[in-house]
Amino acid sequence: MPMADCRFEDVFKEHHKELEQFLRRQVNDPDMAADLVQDTFIRFKPLYEKPPGIQKVRAYLFRIARNLVIDHFRREQIRCTDSVPEDILDEIPTEVAGPEVRAASQQRLENIRAAVDQLPPRCRDVFIMSRVQGMTLAEIGLALNISPKTVFSHFTKALQLLKSQLDEGSGL
């Protein structure tokens, strides 16, 4: 079904069951699989509804789901430290940033978010797919129905614009 004729609800109905089966096989936990399906569609919806939209919906959904599975297992590995005795964890030196450092970090993060929001739409989509969602340039090309060379072009432009905007904002 062409994307222009497809409502988000139709996409959900069409792919929900297949995604859930895929995720059940990956995580071997029906409840976690159901949660990951919901997370997949939560991440997918804003991108689907933003023009020009996603051309290969199924591939894009499965890429998001796969990334969520990877994140899930990473979190599980981190949780394994809960089984480490407290006295061993107490021996690990920690550096806690002071309020000034935290405030500066927060401001820098806000500046980055604002700069990303100001990117041209296609550059922003490519940048987010690459840096936030962890997709390769080839995968982004498939999702957006453009060549990897064009994806690279958009990505390079996004990096140049971000650097320029952030350099201006910090007085470098």
Same domain for 41 and 83, yes or no, is: yes
For 58-97, the pLDDT digits (tens) are: 888 899 999 998 888 888 777 665 555 666 656 666 666 6
Helix (H, G, I), strand (E, B) or coil at 145: coil
Give the HSE-up count for residue 107: Cα atoms under 13 Å, Cβ half-sphere. 8
Which range marks the domain in which residue 46 is found?
1-94
Same domain for 48 and 90, yes or no, is: yes
Domain-ending residue, one of 94, 125, 140: 94
What is the value of pTM for the model shown?
0.44
In the chain, the number of structural domains is 2
Domain-ending residue, one of 94, 128, 145: 94
For 123-153, the pLDDT digits (tens) are: 999 888 888 888 888 888 888 899 888 989 9
Same domain for 64 and 105, yes or no, is: no
For residue 3, pLDDT over 50 is answered with no
Check the CA dihedral 134-138-144-149 and report its sign. Answer: positive
For the chain, how many residues are written? 172
For residue 19, is it within any domain?
yes
For residue 36, is it within any domain?
yes
For residue 172, is it within any domain?
no
For 28-62, the pLDDT digits (tens) are: 888 998 999 898 888 888 877 776 667 788 888 89
